[in-house]
Chains A and B, each alone.
Chain A
């Protein structure tokens, strides 16, 4: 096993937009019957894939994301059909509440501008959170290969949703 697949310590999980979006979609389709969202499901299309993801998240004591991720969720939800937007926000709110998600702000002005240009402010905020919480052995959960590659290079724990 790669030393960078370091999720054994199970202290802090940092969630990117992709996994959160996928969890919301799975729940919306399978538990609330939002059939029109089924076509958007990519990584958690079955109960087994959802259960693996849920088990992985549950193995961490703390879950954290950045305010930038919430903004990105907003961008995604705004692009969905108008009549379903309120339901997606309800679902997001409930998911954060039930999994006891923490959220932190990483101001743009404090970010490394080279990183922002390369990865965009959302991924940069997650990298900054990983640095900020280095003492808690954070693991970043993402669907983004580029972010995953950078985290590995930088020595942060990282997992792709598709690997779970």
Chain B
């Protein structure tokens, strides 16, 4: 329910509106920009250990914990109507995406043919003449399969050289890509690709609207879009 104070339009130079812009809109706009940067490269930053996208987050998580009351105030005020529903839509799309990725990942790692592919690639790698990099002895076939699944989902082409699986991945990426494209995983793969498109589209729309809303608030209440350099940023 909206607070009584929200019925009144904030005054010019309102500190409340400044807080919405600096501690709510700016970090969300930055977070959504990053989402697009990653999604357009096909990198979901998805991790098997958390079963989630590490850098594509629900909207509230783009805001520092101490600024959550400003988010709540922003969403409660009629000046910002419509955003609560859009944030929910974003978060719902993300949940759907994470679920579809999880299914695709489990499809891969539970598949006898895919795990066999990894096992034989590991065997060839271990006995191959060009294997100068050895990954840790504690890394089991199962652990490698999880990494391979992650790298496929995140569209990783090259790993940094100092990563334990750099060389193994360079040698076998194409082979695993072919396996993941097999008909066995068709449905899960397509559902995950569809979910990626949906999140990207949502994210683009929301980003455009938030930027426009920020511009409107700044103009109407005559406040700067970011804290001035000599001022302490809200929440900093």
Contact = CB atoms under 8 A, between A and B. Distances in A.
A32 B162 contact: no
Contact of B163 (A53, A81, A83, A98): A98
A136 interface: no
Interface of B is mostly: loop
Chain A interface residue number, banded: 20 to 34
B166 A34 contact: no
A32 B34 contact: yes
A61 B67 CA distance: 44
Given A32-B55, A54-B160, A58-B162, A83 B134 contact: no
A115 interface: no
A17 B97 CA distance: 36
Majority SS of interface residues in chain A? helix
B64 A58 contact: no
Nearest to B159: A98
B34 A81 contact: no
A100 to B, nearest CB: 5
A58 B159 CA distance: 12
Nearest to A26: B160
Nearest to B235: A82
Contact of B64 (A81, A90, A99): A81
A112 interface: no
Contacts of A87: 54-55
Interface in B55-94: 55, 61-67
Contacts of A53: 162
Contact of A54 (B61, B65, B135, B161): B161
A98 B65 CA distance: 28
A104 interface: no
Interface string A68-94: 000000000000011101110010001
A58 B166 contact: yes
B59 to A, nearest CB: 12
Contacts of B45: 32
A98 B54 contact: no
22 contacts: A31-B43, A32-B45, A32-B55, A33-B33, A33-B37, A33-B38, A36-B30, A50-B160, A53-B162, A58-B133, A58-B163, A61-B134, A81-B233, A82-B235, A83-B27, A83-B64, A83-B67, A83-B235, A87-B55, A94-B47, A99-B162, A99-B163
